[in-house]
Each structure stands twice: as structure tokens, then as C-alpha cells.
């Protein structure tokens, strides 16, 4: 790992000014992606700004119809939260399925969402659950936030502070995990709210997480696994790698979507 300057500011304002003042500054939250990336020398930030001491970024609040999760809240905290389990159990299940226990003790929702790894679980949950991404500068809908592989609408000096999830009528997430990394080879999150359905797919798209609109239309009129019969997913624009071909991933999207609808 290349060396860097390390800061642990005590407030969001100090973190923002440290980030703005750095030559090539990077925010570190749980570090579960950034530190391995730096160890491989694939990232070489001049300055690392650790948000661990910014107190108001941690914690979960709920008003019964939505859940707001601070950016520095760990996956283990989301999975174990009685508020999340009560209002959006599917979201607690997403957090419980990330990585392994030690990763869940460090990794944060803010880090995962801001990183937008194409195989991460949270982006699919945000997109399917129609989450609002809150930053120190404003808010984004999940539809506007995820702009491509490892790419988001965040400005260079913008810091993600919280994610707000409205309560759906029904939701579930199903993933086919890579047996070694536990990253999603394909993960599908489905949600039904009112008469509308949203389906978000992670692990498969070349541009990262995406919505499956044909499935959404079918589920809007009949939210049942059989509504997805006959919908074939194109392998165009899907990833091929040593773990799975694009065609295999296309097939898995259909399988995981049906399982998610059945579980919702």
C-alpha cells in the first residue's frame, strides 16, 4: 500500500473541508473495499478521511412508514435492528447476507452505496425499494444516484450521509452468491408498493445495478412468480467472467426474480 495522510475529523463540515482541500482525497467508511483496493495499489489516494468519528452519521431511525439509516451504520447493525426488521424485513435480510460476520462488523451502508460495486447487494435494495440517498449537499432518488459501474451522482467533494427507505407492501432479495467472495453473481431485489412493482438486478450488468422494466410491468398486474414466465432476459450488456457467462447470468436473473417474488 502506498502511504497517505490520514485524518479522522469530528464533524461532517471538517470532513468536507478536508476532502475539498486534499489533492486526491478519499473517504473511508468501513474500508472493506477501499483498503483491499489500496493494498493492491489499485488506488493511491493522497489523503484518507475517516468518517468514524462523525457521530451523527451512525444510527437507524424509523417513523413506521420509512427507515433512515446513517451512512456509517454497519451491515451487522442494520441486520440486527428491530426497527429495520419490523418495517422492512427484506432490508435486514440484505444486510445479513453481505460478506461474512467480520465484514458485516466493519462494512457500512454508506460505503457500499457510494462505491456502487457492480456485484454489491445494497445498490439493488436501494433501487428496488426506491430509496433516497442523502448527502451533505442534497438528496438523490436511487434512480438518479447509480450512474454506472463504480460510478454515482456524487460530486468529488460530496459525502453520503444517510439512506432513507420507504416501507414497501412486500419486498425480498434473493442472490446467487459467489461461493468464495459472497458477492452476488446475480442478485434480484423485488418490491411491491401500492400497485407498482420494482425489480432491481445486481451482479449482472456491465453498467452495474439496473431495473428490469419488463418484469416490473408483469408484476404490476400480477405480483406472483408465474407472472414472470415467458419473460426472457437478454444477455446483451451482461457480464461474462470466469464465474459465469452472460447467458448464464441472464438465466439466473429470471430464476432469482421468481424466487424473490415468491419470498416477498
Partner 1 sequence: MPTVSMTVNGQAVTGDIEARTLLVEYLRENLRLTGTHVGCDTSQCGACVVHVDGKSVKACTMLAAQAEGSDVLTIEGLADGDDLHPMQEAFRNNHGLQCGFCTPGMVMSAVDLLNHNKNPSEGEIREWLEGNICRCTGYHNIVKSIQEAATKM
For partner 1, which is the closer residue by CB, 31 or 166? 31
| End-to-end Cα distance, the chain | 43
Length of the chain equals 264
Q: Measured between alpha carbons, how far is 237 from 221 in angstroms, rounded to an integer?
A: 27
**22 touches partner 1 (CB under 8 A):** no
Grid coordinates representing 83? Answer: 426497527
Q: Which is closer to partner 1, CB of 1 or CB of 217?
A: 1
Q: Bridge-partner residues for 27, per DSSP?
A: 49
Q: By C-alpha distance, which of 138, 160, 151, 157 is closest to 57?
A: 160
* Non-local CB neighbours of 22 within 8 Å, separated by 6+ positions: 5, 45, 46, 47, 49
Taking CB under 8 A as the rule, does residue 225 contact partner 1?
Answer: no
- Judged by beta carbon, residue 38 or residue 253, the one nearer partner 1 is 38
Q: Which stretch binds partner 1 (CB under 8 A): 100-108, 124-132, 159-167, 189-197?
A: 100-108
Shortest distance (Å) from residue 52 CB to partner 1: 7
Per CB under 8 A, which region of 93-101, 166-174, 186-194, 217-225 contacts partner 1?
93-101
Q: Does 205 bind partner 1 (CB under 8 A)?
A: no
- Under the criterion CB under 8 A, does residue 31 sit at the interface with partner 1? yes
Place of cell 489499485: 42
Nearest to 172 by CA among 134, 121, 99, 207: 121
Antiparallel, parallel or unpaired: β 25-28 and 47-50: parallel
Q: How far is the CB of 102 from partner 1 (least distance, A)?
A: 5
The DSSP secondary-structure symbol of 97 reads T
Please report whether residue 243 would count as binding partner 1 according to CB under 8 A: no
Q: Which residue has the cell 424509523?
A: 62
> Which residue, among 152, 117, 115, has the nearest Cα to 137 in the 3D structure?
152
Nearest to 177 by CA among 120, 248, 110, 245: 120
Encoded one letter per residue, x for contact with partner 1 by CB under 8 A and - for no contact, window 42-61 reads ------x-x-x---------
Count of residues interacting with partner 1 (CB under 8 A)? 28
Interface map 104-133 toward partner 1 (x if CB under 8 A): -xx---------------------------
- Shortest Å, Cβ 79 to partner 1: 12
The region of 25-33, 128-136, 191-199, 238-246 touching partner 1 under the rule CB under 8 A is 25-33
Contacts with partner 1 by CB under 8 A lie at 1-6, 8, 28, 31-32, 35-36, 38-39, 48, 50, 52, 76, 99-103, 105-106, 180-182
Amino acid at each position: 500500500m502506498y502511504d497517505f495522510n490520514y485524518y479522522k475529523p469530528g464533524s461532517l463540515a471538517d470532513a468536507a473541508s478536508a476532502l475539498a482541500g486534499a489533492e486526491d482525497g478519499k473517504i473511508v467508511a468501513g474500508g472493506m473495499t477501499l483498503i483491499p483496493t489500496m493494498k493492491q495499489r489499485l488506488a493511491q489516494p493522497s489523503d484518507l478521511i475517516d468518517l468514524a468519528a462523525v457521530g451523527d452519521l451512525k444510527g437507524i431511525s424509523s417513523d413506521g412508514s420509512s427507515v433512515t439509516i446513517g451512512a456509517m451504520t454497519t451491515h451487522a447493525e442494520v441486520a440486527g435492528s428491530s426497527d429495520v426488521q419490523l418495517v422492512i424485513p427484506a432490508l435486514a435480510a440484505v444486510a445479513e447476507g453481505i460478506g461474512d460476520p467480520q465484514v458485516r462488523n466493519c462494512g457500512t451502508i454508506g460505503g457500499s452505496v457510494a462505491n456502487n460495486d457492480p456485484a454489491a447487494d445494497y445498490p439493488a435494495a436501494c433501487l428496488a425499494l426506491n430509496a433516497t440517498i442523502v448527502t451533505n449537499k442534497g438528496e438523490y432518488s436511487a434512480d438518479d444516484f447509480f450512474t454506472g459501474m463504480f460510478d454515482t451522482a456524487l460530486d468529488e467533494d460530496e459525502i453520503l450521509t444517510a439512506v432513507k427507505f420507504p416501507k414497501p407492501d412486500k419486498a425480498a432479495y434473493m442472490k446467487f452468491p459467489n461461493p468464495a467472495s459472497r458477492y452476488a453473481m446475480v442478485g434480484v431485489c423485488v418490491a411491491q408498493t401500492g400497485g407498482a412493482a420494482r425489480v432491481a438486478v445486481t451482479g449482472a450488468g456491465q453498467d452495474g445495478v439496473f431495473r428490469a422494466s419488463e418484469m416490473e410491468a408483469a408484476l404490476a398486474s400480477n405480483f406472483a412468480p408465474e407472472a414472470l414466465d415467458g419473460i426472457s432476459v437478454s444477455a446483451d450488456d451482461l457480464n461474462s467472467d470466469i464465474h459465469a457467462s452472460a447467458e448464464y447470468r441472464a438465466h439466473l436473473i429470471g430464476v432469482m426474480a421468481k424466487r424473490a417474488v415468491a419470498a416477498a
